[in-house]
A and B are shown apart, each in its own frame.
Chain A
Amino acid sequence: MLDQLQRLGSASLNTLERLGRGHLFLLNVLTGIPGLFLRFRLVIHQIYSVGVLSLLIIGVAGLFVGMVLGLQGYNTLVDFGAEESLGVVVALTLVRELGPVVAALLFAGRAGSALTAEIGLMKATEQLSAMEMMAVDPLHRVVAPRLLAGFIALPLLAALFSAVGVMGGYFVGVGLLGVDEGAFWSQMEDKVDLFDDVLNGVIKSIVFGFVVTWIAVFEGYDTTPTSEGVGRATTRTVVHSSLAVLGLDFVLTALMFGD
């Protein structure tokens, strides 16, 4: 019994310590961000590897999610004779929720895990130590460009996800199920608000981009420098950032749409 209590205590202390380390780490990384604007090439390179290389999975997932929304939405709406609202349903669902959330989950799996593994292996092969000894701060040279790149890339990916999703909904609803094209677009235009819906979705994806990338780079940097350690850190990145995205989504939704 005492033993279990002790283990609980030490586990909680470890968690708190890691949380503290994560925040100090973030603080140190953020001090390196201003310097990046002078050498933006580093960030662009990272935007390519976390953003451009994620385009395929984001695009394909967006298309299918949009098509499913079109199908499910139509089946429900047609019972009430409201199938002309399909455009609104698809667009609002994507822009407010599914765009930012699903894009962030995919981003965590595709780009977050890659970031953790990359930084973790750099640590395991002493590349980070070597940089320190060359008087180059790896937090500024390696981590900061990746954090900024994730922060920039995810909102763009989420926007793309939503856009492709709307096209998928359109394809199924208008193209296959015969919803009136004019009604599909005009209702969407009428009911989707730039600030209340689109902007809030963008804010969500900015927050998710920041949190997912932060978790990914921290897990990589804080990993035990062995192959097992890197493997575990990569898993933790995906699990923790997915949970963080879902949890934060609830909080943000409550703040934005909770009235």
Chain B
Amino acid sequence: MSSNQSEPDSPPQTLVKIRGLRYFRGSRAIFDGVDMDIKRGKLTAIMGPSGTGKTTLLRLIGGQLRPQQGSIIVDGMEVNKLNHRQLYELRKRMGMLFQNGALLTDLNVFDNVAFPLREHTRLPESMVRSLVLMKLQAVGLRGAHKLIPSELSGGMSRRVALARAIALDPMMIMYDEPFTGQDPISMGVLVSLLKNLNDALNLTSILVSHDVRETLSIADDVYVISEGKVVEHGPADVVQKSGSDWVQQFIQGKNDGPVPFHYPAPELIDDLMHG
């Protein structure tokens, strides 16, 4: 793709650069030579079937896991070479939305959103209050600021967690399966919220999901991963027209194809006769 920001002095267009990533869990390769470029200001989706390590990828980018080989460079810094302090400084500029929100259950909604502000800044309480209410307003939950996490629905928890993730105005935000298990209304709310926040705050977003339709509707750039490798990459429409049978099966949700319906097993007749 051509770029109008290619002069050496301007900030590089790629915010996260992954090269030759290999990550093993035991002897199983979760990633086996993955290259990715996450572009600044764009919403990049990473799709793939369950168990392909999409969440693991976010943890690798956030420095919670270390790769066995390869490099992950976030904003010019190689994540797995940073010391504890540098890593924590970098994380202040990253937001992450966990699958179920991961709100702190002993704090109410207001205090959850205020948590990063109180931990990392010395702002007076009046300013914390204004900031928290503004962030909650952005996700439509200002009226719920006194509720405790157990009183929230799944979709509301994720929106509160989203307000918390943007509390420190990060440069990028990572979403781990934000649409899983949502009813159509909260799904629609989350989808438009993600897109709007990305555009309004000029964020770089990484969205990990296997909800194909919703994800393709908002993503600028899509990576499809399977069995540790990138099998397709490009803008949403290119991925949709992919010539790969596997990608087509995944996007259209066919029950049989390159990914077989049956888990590998001996012939049925043999199993029945000798079992």
Contacts and interface: CB of A to CB of B under 8 A. Distances in A.
Given A135-B88, A135-B92, A129 B102 contact: yes
Contact of A130 (B88, B89, B96, B119): B96
Given A135-B88, A135-B92, A129 B115 contact: no
Contacts of B96: 130, 133
A125 B91 contact: no
A203 to B, nearest CB: 33
Question: Among the interface residues A126, A127, A129, A133, which one has the most CB atoms of the partner chain B within 10 A?
Answer: A133
B99 A133 contact: no
Contacts of A127: 102-105
Given A125-B105, A127-B104, A127-B105, A135 B91 contact: yes
A137 B92 CA distance: 12
Main secondary structure of the interface of B (DSSP, over half): mixed
B105 A135 contact: no
Interface residues of A, number: 14
Contacts, number: 52
Interface string A166-180: 000000000000000
B88 A125 contact: no
B153 interface: no
Contacts of B100: 125-126
A256 interface: no
Contact of A134 (B59, B89, B105, B116): B116
Interface in A14-39: none
Contacts of B98: 126, 129-130
A136 interface: yes
Given A129-B102, A135-B88, A135-B116, 9 more contacts: A122-B105, A126-B98, A130-B98, A131-B104, A132-B91, A133-B91, A134-B115, A134-B116, A136-B119
A-B CB proximity, top 5 nearest: A130-B102, A126-B102, A135-B91, A133-B96, A135-B88
21 contacts: A122-B105, A125-B100, A125-B105, A126-B98, A126-B99, A126-B100, A127-B103, A129-B59, A130-B161, A132-B91, A133-B62, A133-B96, A134-B91, A134-B115, A134-B116, A135-B88, A135-B91, A135-B92, A135-B119, A135-B120, A136-B120
